[in-house]
């Protein structure tokens, strides 16, 4: 038999073996020994294959510790968001407020007026009294009306004033030698109009007193005030002689109390007209509650328009604030009747937003103290005079925010995970990984509890296999400015990951959501972010080749358009063929090769099943510690031999399963080997 014949026969016998490898080892025809006719015994040689012929490392398939195979898939930024996805400060519209002058307290006033007896007697036509001056005589009884108006000066501190509050008292001291009662009208001496009317009864003789108090509310005191005696009564002295001195006077003492004016030309004292705290709403419009705000940059812009008659000193402060260790406040001088524009720099200022009694969050307090500064001159004032204030926060960039950022859900954009290993693409049957894992590497600088609800599924022929892993609370920092990292693990102890990675699969997809502040009863409501806070999750899938496999098969056409008979010399006739093969392996695989022979019409005319491999024996860790051995003898003769030699095409199918019928997980290792020794015996007859 020629070498060409032997190679063709060897091709037939080792077809399945070649199909198992991604690269081929060549069996050398060393030491060919033709023993005798009619039987040729031909030792073809030996070869040793390693698992590296089948599993070639790439970006996904790696060696772990240069020994164990592991399938690695990395997917960066499976999910991620930053502080702007979580919370932002709304653009602030200008806010307006007003400090109204309102009623103005003014200093109390006092004047007195002496009305001599002689003047009254002359005005009333009581000549007998003036005639008796300097003598002792009976004093006549009196019952006089509208005697006259006395005085006519102003109060000095104001030239005109309309009162919203206050009262005026007239006290009478009687130096006459008889008791008197007076009716007095407080009048505008220029116009004669009555301002207030007083009744002073029974002031006894020689120093007796009487008084009356009247309200000044809604009354106007002019610059000229007079006292009109509307009535004068006295019982006189009867027949008793008394000393008559026409210089004796009725003394009127005028005093005031609690004066407040709503319109006046007056001198006002330096005084506070406002001491108040206003609040600017920094709410986001949602359920968020902001409690502390650090501005990296901010400007508090103001515009004040005054219609007040005097200069105003306005002190603005931010209670509870801290700018480089000092509470923020400033004093602004606003000239009477002028507009003042400016701004307060709030860069690096920490603001307390919890001081509003009506709402303990999201309100920026602004204390306003307004002091009206007296010029010492009389000015025209009105209660409608005011300071119009416009505030606006601009150039807002926060450094950090403390508070509660509400409950919300952020959906993870769905995506797919590539999982392609070339040798698996040709397989039928299934491989089940015993120890797969999915890990999520988390990097988080957002200071609040976030729950990850991961959806992860694989699909095969339209059927889904869900991970059904636990929902995890992601690691998060508890100190502002810190970043926390951590790893979330999904494995066969807490999920159905084995079902997900029982291959082959059509696709693997992920999605889900992150839930913000999902359990405030357990985690509270204390949240924080900085202007650079963010969170990201990177996916790592690890599939160590700790597997079980059953019903694995793949096939291929090994040869077509064969014409083996033409390769046999005419002088030789092959009567029988025996293939001898011995194998040893540390692979944890049983393998059977089925060779199928077809005629030119693709009719199967012969098949041979060869139990190629007997699995090595694994220990409890799935590592083969003892090789498996097999010895194979295949005889082809008679009609079978004729069919083989006349075949036009040959197909090979390889059937595999892991140790013990695919029931025990085993490891595929780089040091696994398969040794094969091959020989053939050919019985031939010479044709004469």
How crowded is residue 202: how many other Cβ atoms within 10 Å of its Cβ? Answer: 14
According to DSSP, the residues that pair with 398 across neighbouring strands are 295
User: Which of the residues in the chain have pLDDT under 50?
Assistant: 1-37, 40, 42, 44
Residues 665 and 66 sit within 8 Å (Cβ to Cβ): no
Tokens coding 164: 């919203």
Instruction: Provide CB contacts within 8 A for 322, sequence distance 6+.
Output: 349, 350
How many CA atoms, within 13 angstroms, populate the side-chain half-sphere of residue 63?
Answer: 12
What per-residue confidence (pLDDT) applies to 211? 96
What's the rounded Cα separation, in Å, for the pair 457 and 454?
A: 10
Q: What does the alpha-carbon distance between residue 144 and residue 125 come to, in Å, rounded to a whole number? A: 10
Closest of 480, 474, 473, 475 to residue 533, by C-alpha: 480
> How open is the CA angle 580-677-628, to the nearest 5 degrees?
100
C-alpha span between 80 and 442 (Å, rounded): 10
- The sign of the dihedral angle between the CA atoms of 65, 67, 70, 74 is positive
Task: Compute CA distances 168 → 157, 163, 219, whole Å.
Answer: 15, 11, 11
Phi, psi (5° rounding) for residue 379? -130, 160
* E-state strands within 599-672: 604-613, 617-618, 624-626, 628-637, 649-658, 666-667
| pLDDT at position 613 | 83
- Do 624 and 586 meet the contact criterion of CB atoms below 8 Å apart? yes
pLDDT at 587: 83
Question: CB of 480 within 8 A of CB of 499?
Answer: no
Nearest to 460 by CA among 502, 431, 514, 489: 502
Residues 6+ apart with CB under 8 A from 155: 109, 111, 221, 225
Which whole-number Å values give the CA distances from 130 to 126, 230, 250, 377, 676, in the listed order? 7, 21, 16, 46, 162
Domains of the chain: 3-60+548-686 (no CATH), 73-86+406-543 (2.60.120), 95-104+268-403 (2.60.120), 107-262 (2.60.120)
- CB–CB of 682/40 below 8 Å? yes
Instruction: Render pLDDT for 622-649 as a digit per residue (tens, 0 to 9).
Output: 888 898 898 888 888 888 888 887 888 8
pLDDT at 224: 86
d(CA 153, CA 137): 36
Dig out the tokens for 204 from the structure: 């006894």
């Amino acid at each position: 038999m020629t070498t060409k014949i032997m190679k063709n026969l060897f091709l037939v016998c080792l077809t399945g073996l070649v199909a198992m490898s991604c690269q081929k080892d060549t069996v050398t025809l060393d030491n060919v020994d033709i023993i005798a006719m009619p039987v040729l015994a031909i030792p073809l040689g030996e070869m040793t294959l390693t698992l590296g012929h089948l599993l070639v490392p790439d970006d996904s398939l790696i060696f772990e510790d240069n020994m164990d195979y592991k399938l690695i898939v990395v997917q960066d930024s499976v999910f991620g968001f930053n502080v702007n996805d979580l919370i932002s400060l709304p653009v602030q519209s200008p806010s307006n407020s007003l400090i109204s002058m309102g009623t103005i307290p003014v200093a109390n006033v006092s004047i007195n007026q002496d009305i001599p007896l002689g003047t009254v007697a002359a005005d009333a036509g009581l000549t007998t009294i003036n005639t008796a001056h300097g003598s002792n005589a009976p004093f006549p009884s009196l019952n006089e009306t509208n005697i006259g108006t006395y005085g006519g000066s102003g109060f000095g501190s104001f030239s005109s004033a309309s009162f919203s509050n206050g009262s005026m008292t007239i006290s009478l001291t009687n130096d006459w030698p008889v008791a008197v009662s007076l009716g007095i009208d407080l009048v505008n001496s220029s116009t004669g109009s009555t301002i207030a009317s007083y009744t002073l009864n029974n002031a006894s003789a020689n120093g007796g007193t009487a008084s009356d108090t009247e309200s000044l509310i809604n009354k106007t005191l002019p610059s000229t005030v007079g006292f009109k005696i509307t009535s004068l009564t006295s019982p006189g002295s009867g027949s008793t002689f008394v000393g008559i001195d026409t210089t004796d006077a009725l003394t009127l003492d005028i005093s005031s109390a609690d004066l407040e004016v709503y319109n006046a030309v007056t001198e006002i004292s330096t005084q506070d007209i406002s001491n108040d705290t206003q609040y600017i709403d920094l709410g986001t419009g949602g359920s968020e509650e902001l409690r502390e705000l650090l501005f990296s940059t901010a400007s508090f812009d103001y515009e004040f328009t005054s219609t007040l008659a005097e200069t105003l000193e306005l002190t603005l402060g931010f209670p509870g604030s801290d700018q480089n260790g000092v509470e923020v406040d400033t004093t602004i001088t606003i000239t009477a009747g002028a507009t003042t524009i400016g701004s307060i720099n709030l860069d690096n200022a920490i603001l307390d937003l919890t001081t509003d009694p009506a709402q303990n969050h999201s309100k920026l307090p602004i204390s306003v103290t307004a002091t009206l500064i007296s010029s010492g001159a009389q000015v025209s004032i009105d209660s409608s005079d005011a300071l119009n204030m416009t505030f606006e926060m601009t150039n807002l960039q926060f450094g950090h925010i403390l508070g509660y950022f509400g409950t919300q859900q952020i959906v993870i954009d769905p995506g797919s995970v590539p999982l392609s290993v070339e040798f698996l693409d040709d397989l039928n049957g299934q491989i089940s990984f015993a120890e797969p894992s999915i890990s999520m590497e988390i990097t988080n600088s957002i200071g609040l509890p976030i729950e990850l609800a991961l959806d992860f599924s694989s699909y095969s022929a339209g059927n889904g296999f869900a991970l059904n892993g636990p929902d995890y609370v992601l690691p998060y920092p508890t100190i502002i400015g810190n970043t926390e990292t951590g790893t979330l693990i999904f494995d066969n102890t807490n999920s159905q990951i084995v079902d997900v990675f029982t291959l082959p699969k059509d696709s693997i997809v992920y999605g889900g959501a992150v839930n913000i502040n999902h359990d405030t009863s357990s985690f509270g409501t204390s949240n924080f972010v900085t202007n650079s806070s963010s969170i990201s999750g990177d996916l790592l899938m690890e599939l160590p080749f700790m597997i079980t496999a059953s019903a694995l098969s793949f096939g291929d056409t090994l040869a077509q358009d064969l014409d083996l008979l033409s390769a046999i010399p005419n002088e030789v006739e092959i009567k029988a063929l025996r293939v001898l093969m011995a194998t040893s392996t540390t692979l944890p695989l049983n393998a059977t090769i089925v060779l199928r022979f077809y005629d030119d019409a693709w009719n199967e005319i012969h098949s041979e099943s060869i139990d190629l491999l007997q699995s090595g024996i694994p220990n409890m860790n799935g590592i083969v510690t003892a090789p498996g051995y097999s010895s194979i003898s295949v005889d082809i003769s008679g009609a079978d031999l004729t069919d083989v030699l006349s075949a036009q095409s040959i197909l090979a199918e390889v059937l595999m399963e892991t140790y013990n019928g695919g029931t025990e997980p085993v490891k595929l290792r780089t040091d696994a080997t398969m040794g094969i020794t091959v020989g053939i015996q050919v019985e031939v007859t010479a044709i004469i």
